[in-house]
Structure 1
Amino acid sequence: MPIKSAVSVLPLCLLLFFAASLPAHAAVQHAPVTSAFLKAERIAVPGKLVKAARIVDAAGEHILVVSLRTGSSSAGNATPGDKEELHELFASLYVHKANRWAREWLIQDENDCPIVDSSANFFPKYITVTDLDQNGIAEVTVPYKYFCGGGIDSSTLKVIMRQGAQKFAARGQTQLGGEPGMAYGGELVFDPSLSLKENAVFKAHLQFIRDKVYIEH
């Protein structure tokens, strides 16, 4: 029984029954949900909603919420009246337990950049839900970048994967300039744990996502 986008209007009890009936290694299911659904379920969204999804796996039913909040810098030299100097990035996974949604994990980052140019963005198209190791537990991958500088420079780029308590990351810089010998940036460093044989499939996925987003156009 696949989950379709219209599932967000179904009674929650039916969804929980479906989640409980999944065998241990059933395919992970996921579908988008709306801000109205999050409000009805009393799941807070800090800032502007970027992406939200319901995920059903062998561990139960989950809600993924990704959002971005901007505001004034917390630094003492912030520009008076400037509301776009602090960028806060959030990705949370909630699990349904005891008739409520409890946060299972949080990815949080910020770009506090007073005076000079700044920005922060997720890549919604490449926020993925997978089961690469086929253990029935969803992996969530969240790529984003942020910039703080006074000229044309590369941005800090991170691709973070969570599978329950496990966390893996590819970190580096975006790349600017496409002409031979003219490109700069593009550095990439993987977490040491991704060098382990059992994590090879995760490393390949992080590399794939990073390669889709690291070039600045």
Structure 2
Amino acid sequence: MPIKSAASLVALCLLLFSAAPLPARAAVEHAPVTAAFLKTERIAVPGKLVKAARILDAGGEHILVVSMHTGPSGAENATPGDDEERYELFASLYTRKANRWAREWLIEDVNDCPIIDSSANFFPKYITITDLDQNGIAEVTVPYKYFCNGGVDSSTLKVIMRQGAQKFAVRGQTRVVHGDSDFGGELVFDPSLSLKDNAVFKAHLKYIRDKVYIER
């Protein structure tokens, strides 16, 4: 083949490749799963299951498990026989590795509150699975609150997002609207959320927080 023709062929190939559309990035998909499914997959659930989902993204197949375990306080001044003074909150993401599930990350918190009023709750409706930055990797956002006090007061509120090894959070207090009283509602973002690249995460965390932070 003459050199001129070979050069023309190379140029034509480059033109075709540059004109061809890039393949679309795989969308993040997710669907709820049951406790029975988790059992068949041999994924342990500490305490009572709150929410579970199967997730498919560019990193593979994952299982999200959110649960809460309640029990007696471990404190010395705990009331004997009181089975709901200690609240353990768990959110785990498992990734399929060959024929087993390996835990990729864990969100864990404890509210151990003997004698005085206590509680803890996730917000299942607002536990979200998204791809806000459209990189094909799922973000999981988990909001929850806990209370340890002897009267009408704000609860501690946290909204935590995980995207693989990355972790972002907004923390603060619930806002209590009780008769003529209106107090609480403090809000603190992780410093990393001030970065421009994380603006979409900050907006999402603020959106979720605004959905759950008022108590009446």
TM-score of the two chains, using structure 2 as the length reference: 0.88
User: Corresponding residue for 2:177?
Assistant: 177
Distance change (3 Å), C-alpha of 1:24 and 1:42: farther
User: Corresponding residue for 1:5?
Assistant: none
Quote how far apart the aligned CAs of 1:116 are. Answer: 0.3
Q: Distance in 2 between matches of 1:171 and 1:83?
A: 28
RMSD: 1.2
Q: Distance in 2 between matches of 1:24 and 1:98?
A: 26
- Over the matched positions of the two proteins, sequence identity in percent amounts to 81
User: Corresponding residue for 2:190?
Assistant: 191
Distance change (3 Å), C-alpha of 1:32 and 1:45: same
User: Corresponding residue for 1:79?
Assistant: 79
Question: Within 5 Å, which residues of 2 pair with 1:52-91?
Answer: 52-91=52-91
User: Corresponding residue for 1:159?
Assistant: 159
Q: Distance in 1 between matches of 2:44 and 2:174?
A: 31
Q: Distance in 2 between matches of 1:174 and 1:56?
A: 33
Quote how far apart the aligned CAs of 1:177 are. Answer: 1.3
Question: Within 5 Å, which residues of 2 pair with 1:110-125?
Answer: 110-125=110-125
User: Corresponding residue for 1:138?
Assistant: 138
User: Corresponding residue for 1:202?
Assistant: 201
**Structure with larger Rg:** 2
Quote how far apart the aligned CAs of 1:25 are. Answer: 2.1
Letter of the structure 2 residue corresponding to residue 202 of structure 1: F
1:13-34 superposed Cα distances (whole Å, 9 cap, x missing partner): xxxxxxxxxx782110000000
Q: Distance in 2 between matches of 1:209 and 1:43?
A: 28
User: Corresponding residue for 2:47?
Assistant: 47
1:122-154 superposed Cα distances (whole Å, 9 cap, x missing partner): 000000000000000000000000000000101
Q: Distance in 1 between matches of 2:98 and 2:43?
A: 15
User: Corresponding residue for 2:17?
Assistant: none
Quote how far apart the aligned CAs of 1:183 are. Answer: 1.3
TM-score of the two chains, using structure 1 as the length reference: 0.87
Unaligned runs of 5+ in 2: 1-22
Number of residue equivalences: 194
